[in-house]
Chains A and B, each alone.
Chain A
């Protein structure tokens, strides 16, 4: 275990049998200057749209309620119940929209960020729904002078669409509970995923009661029309993002497996070919959701980064074998059809805020960074953390890129407490390797622990938060 602080030549000493041949294939490295930037403008626009929508959702209540009309506790409770109901209805639509795989969202906000927000907003939505339910039951019970239980009975029996609304609330609670990290870890991913899909039912079942009983939505008028329109838009986005657009993409490109190569004992690269690959709007660092259409794998889809920049000959993903699904990928037969949804992600060279970049990879996290290297200007720095020399992936390609694009590559080998990594993973160590650290965008991809530690170190070294890009995919 030693700290290797050299570029290309040294590392070819790491001998490995199988491995990806140099990928150039006669293809010259993409010329610089490369691609147009995609700044945070799109993301900010989406955020603004979200807040605007939230205001628009609560505004009808505000306009309908005369000032000073909430005189006693039951009225206050009922009013709060209505507000939380409107907020919950809106958040549910946003939640579904965020998972619609709509191209605009995936490319402007990025799938990783969307799933993070989806998670946080999901918790908020659950609380809003429960608050809505509790406040209105208590409020109505006070108004009608009934016990809570009799009020629930009367809501279920006498009001239209309330049975399905209660079922919808139950579904949301179930989905919310299974999304709690501690619970989710105990469930197989696929079971959890399909359970989570049931939440579409909540959208359907919760629909009716908003219009038959909703104080702001009962009367025909612009508010009711707008609310219905929002529903229709979300459903349209869902159909477009989940069905039409993937269908169009896959009919157009018809991807197939052409080769599976072992990069290291526990990592494989899958090469795909297809039609019109040069027309895919792919940036290095983006990912697709892949579905391999063979008997064992067709029913599950997983996000993997593309590990080489877009070209007209092949696509490649580099995958670490960690679970049952990834183990099956080893045995993919040549010619297996592949269903891909994407590309998505904002972890790309085009999203950087500064000219130069520093890339920090851990283990198989090199895949998106390797693809990105081809689109970054000369002078880029790459720090590659790996446990052992055998765990260094794609090193011949990295060496080739380092030469072709004047990239400084450091391989930092060893576990966290070994002297090499300890020398590098602190503010002084990083500054020694990359003196202009704070004037670079930093891209991090790797195991969660490494990424968290690196972010802490970078922040202490004075790198602004907006210059740090993460590719921790958590769903």
Chain B
């Protein structure tokens, strides 16, 4: 019995140690975040650098230059960008609060024509996806995810997420933000979708 207790203690200690070892470089993680923040942008179609005229009010767009007014904002892209190249980390709660940003930028003068913006390719557990949104002015009128895995269990997840988020009547259009409910049973896919969508919104 004593050995069983020892083994259980060992299990608890070992698990804690592993998690802490993986989690602990978090302190140093903040520093490499800034350069990384631009990394997911690179492979995507729209370049963030010409964005400033349109997106100056956007806290995320200005994050690399360290905008003063949004106190908590720099931390958010940090956590999010850290997740970009790593499918494991789910942006989760950190991504959502920032999504009011695109709406805030409605005041900016925009030609009232439709255009499409494509988010970065986000790879996740079961594949990778890229969200393309269609905007009329600043209003999202359509959204779709490209390149999601088809077939099998992953395909079902793709269909679930596509079905509830995308389309002219989907949740993206309804909410006008990346603040979407996670599709149950498809956490990774939902997170990847929101991540790509958020970036697309930031550039829009």
Contacts and interface: CB of A to CB of B under 8 A. Distances in A.
Nearest to A144: B182
Nearest to B182: A144
A71 B182 contact: no
A58 B19 CA distance: 12
Contact of A69 (B1, B82, B94): B82
B90 A75 contact: yes
Interface in B171-194: 181-182, 184-185, 187
A65 B24 CA distance: 13
Interface residues of A, number: 43
Interface residues of B, number: 37
Interface string B8-33: 10011011101100111110110000
Given A71-B89, A140-B187, A123 B7 contact: yes
Interface stretch (A79-87, A237-245, A294-302, A411-419): A79-87
Interface stretch (A152-160, A284-292, A387-395): A152-160
Contacts of A26: none
Nearest to B10: A124
A124 B4 contact: yes
- The DSSP consensus for interface residues of chain A is helix
Interface string A209-223: 000100100110000
Contacts of A76: 19, 23
Contact of A83 (B3, B18, B92): B18
Contact of B25 (A67, A144, A215): A67
- The DSSP consensus for interface residues of chain B is helix
Interface string B83-109: 100101110111000000000000000
A159 B184 CA distance: 9
Contact of B15 (A68, A75, A80): A80
Contact of B88 (A69, A122, A131): A69
Contacts of B12: 131
Contacts of B88: 64-66, 69, 215
9 contacts: A68-B25, A69-B83, A76-B23, A124-B11, A128-B11, A143-B92, A158-B184, A219-B125, A219-B126
Interface of A: 58, 61-62, 64-72, 74-76, 79-80, 83-84, 87, 119-124, 127-128, 131, 140, 143-146, 154, 157-160, 212, 215, 218-219
